[in-house]
Chain A
Amino acid sequence: MSVNVSTLQARISGESTASSPLSTEEYFVNMGPQHPSTHGVLRLVLRLDGETVRDVVPVLGYIHRGIEKMGEHGNYRQFVHLVDRMDYLAALSNNWAVTMVVEKAAKMETTDRIQAIRTLVCELQRIQSHQLWWGVFGMDLGGFTPFFYGLRDREQLCDIFEKTIGARLTMNYIQPGGVMYDIHPDFVKDVKTFLAYFKSKLPEYDTLMSENVIIQERLRGIGKLSAERALALGATGPVLRASGVAHDLRKSEPYGLYSQVDFDVPVGTTGDCWDRYWVRMEEMRQSIRIVEQLIDNIPEGKTFMVKPAAKIKVPAGVHYSHMETPRGVLGVVLVSDGKESPYRIHCRTPNFNNLWCIGEMATGGRIGDLVAMLSSIDLVIPDIDR
């Protein structure tokens, strides 16, 4: 993918396009990279006419760490821990995306137990990721209570992960050939306790925010993104589904054990901020459904198919695999020359494409709504810059 830099320059420094006789002189506001609502070090250049946003141009690179280039220096199992740091709120999904392309290319076999564990932990992390988003979204809208609620429940999941995986955030758990450790003996019991607990807390979330008339008035009708534009910009995940496109790789190209479980894909209608909010709230409920169906039926079997020190070689050629993370489609392109380390590895990350929807959403809107729009996309900046 190439970005036409000259077009972006023109968008920042271009002549006034306003035609209304009431429009005034345009001016620029720089937002970020140190800004509480950009969730990291994203920088946006806003072209404004009074309070009306004329254009939003993201400026990237403030956390570009060269993860893809670093992947070429190590072997495949060493690359897995680097992608933890890409979308750190969905580290397990990122692990799995790399694992999937390596396993598919090297034709490695897995057991049902491995797939069940992977599906379970990824769905739990989807809940965890949305919990954090919900809390931060509330804080961006100006309320501090959602932050406490969301992070309080997130801690319970951190405990479950810590028992099995040993880490709270950067997991490095799903590896080519299996999962690093078998699940903790308490895993099933803990997850059931958590589900019972969280199902009683979700109505609280609704009472506090979803059914709150201030929140609804705040979110409805702003930041609209049509289905055509969402598809054209390459948006995926809840951003695309909120625009009315029922695209979910867990349904259309099932991996793991998703083909064996019953769940719905929540879809919005108008693609405004409220729809994006609602789709994520529904996704939490669907994830609970998936976990409930799987938690009692974890099959027996091995959890690691190769020796820990085994050298993994991938046949020469171009391999591609993709999966649905909490934020959208994460695709991994792997160009191999048959050696132990990849020749080139590229990640098509969901946040990068979702970010460019902000120009579409915000143009013509008010600057006061911009933070709500930005937060409703649920961006993770190191995933954009890699």
Chain B
Amino acid sequence: MGVITDKLPGVLEPVPGGQVLLTAVDQLINWSRSNSLWPLTFGTSCCAIEMMMATGAARHDMARFGAEVARPSPRQADLLVIAGTIVKRMAPRLRTLYEQMAEPRYVMATGSCAICGGPFMYDSYTTIRGADEVIPVDVYVPGCPPRPEAFFYGLLTLQKMIREGESIRHPGERRRPVLAALPEGMTLDDIRKEMQDLLSHDANVKMVDELAEGAHFSAELKDF
């Protein structure tokens, strides 16, 4: 068992029903893990640009969801976002990067290339048909490339997975990988609203109505 379980029982043992406290610690750990994901900047092709737009750019700004600090070194990261095609020559490097990351580590496969080879599934002699042939993947985010909103949906799904996931009694136990495809009939406005609702729980965040603020630039997607 980890450091926390080794040290905590001293505190917990005298308490009758320490079980309850331990569960609370589980929740606390999982909550803090889910809200402090450090993504590795691993972009091989097009999806990397949309990942940049999602993580760094001002409009989408992933820092709102606690995945702010993108790290170029795998030793400092715990979320590997596979953004782009993986070819045969890159596959051993991807495996090395994954092995270098510290536990607990999570993997998001964004874009059809990382899921199944995407447009390069047929007739390509180099492409790996899906990054899950090389490393275990937790969340799949479809799209070619996925919009920043879809990227967020995948991230929120991963956070939910982490919160409900492994406990300190059973480390390493994970939920089955999920496909974070947008549910049928869900529009981008719905995601934006969901994200706003999520953020409005936090009293420190002052919500600005995006549509009112930049009215002439906001994409009115309902036209389509």
Q: Do A and B come from one complex?
A: yes
Which residues of A are interface residues toward B (Cβ below 8 A)? Answer: 33-36, 40-41, 61-66, 69-70, 73-74, 81-82, 84-85, 88-89, 132, 147-148, 151-152, 154-156, 158-159, 162-163, 166, 168-170, 190, 193-194, 381-382
- Which chain B residues in 67-94 approach chain A with CB under 8 Å? 72, 74, 84-85, 87, 89-90, 93
Interface string of B190-224 (1 = CB under 8 A from A): 00000000000000000000000000111101011
Q: Are A34 and B74 in contact (CB under 8 A)?
A: yes
Q: Are A34 and B93 in contact (CB under 8 A)?
A: yes
Chain A residues contacting B104 (CB-CB under 8 Å) are none
Cα A169 to Cα B124 in complex, Å, equals 22
Contact A85:B119 (CB < 8 A) given known A148-B56, A170-B144, A382-B46 = yes
Chain B residues contacting A162 (CB-CB under 8 Å) are 219, 221
Quick one: which of B41, B50, B127, B224 contacts A166, CB cutoff 8 A?
Answer: B224
24 A/B residue pairs, CB under 8 Å, sorted by A = A35-B72, A36-B41, A36-B72, A63-B87, A65-B127, A66-B126, A66-B127, A70-B122, A70-B123, A70-B124, A84-B46, A85-B45, A85-B46, A85-B119, A88-B45, A147-B57, A148-B57, A151-B58, A155-B58, A159-B218, A166-B224, A168-B145, A170-B46, A193-B217
Nearest-CB residue, chain B, relative to A156: B217
Q: Are A33 and B90 in contact (CB under 8 A)?
A: yes
Q: Are A66 and B124 in contact (CB under 8 A)?
A: yes
Is B44 an interface residue, CB under 8 A from the partner? yes
Quick one: which of A36, A147, A169 contacts B46, CB cutoff 8 A?
Answer: A169
Chain A residues contacting B97 (CB-CB under 8 Å) are 34
Contact A41:B90 (CB < 8 A) given known A70-B123, A85-B46 = yes
- Which chain B residues in 23-59 approach chain A with CB under 8 Å? 41-46, 48-50, 52-53, 56-59
Nearest-CB residue, chain B, relative to A85: B46
Closest Cβ of chain B: how far from A377's Cβ, in Å? 18
Closest Cβ of chain A: how far from B31's Cβ, in Å? 29
Nearest-CB residue, chain A, relative to B90: A62
Closest Cβ of chain B: how far from A383's Cβ, in Å? 10
Q: Are B120 and A65 in contact (CB under 8 A)?
A: yes
Q: Are B219 and A159 in contact (CB under 8 A)?
A: yes
Cα A89 to Cα B43 in complex, Å, equals 14
Q: Are A163 and B41 in contact (CB under 8 A)?
A: no
Q: Are A169 and B145 in contact (CB under 8 A)?
A: yes
Quick one: which of B44, B59, B119, B145 contacts A82, CB cutoff 8 A?
Answer: B119
Q: Are A69 and B123 in contact (CB under 8 A)?
A: yes
Closest Cβ of chain B: how far from A85's Cβ, in Å? 6
Q: Are A155 and B119 in contact (CB under 8 A)?
A: no
Chain A residues contacting B129 (CB-CB under 8 Å) are none
Is B163 an interface residue, CB under 8 A from the partner? no
Nearest-CB residue, chain B, relative to A84: B46
Nearest-CB residue, chain B, relative to A159: B219
Chain A residues contacting B43 (CB-CB under 8 Å) are 40
Contact A34:B46 (CB < 8 A) given known A64-B126, A81-B119 = no
Q: Are B219 and A163 in contact (CB under 8 A)?
A: yes
Closest Cβ of chain B: how far from A220's Cβ, in Å? 28
Chain A residues contacting B147 (CB-CB under 8 Å) are 168
Cα A88 to Cα B50 in complex, Å, equals 11
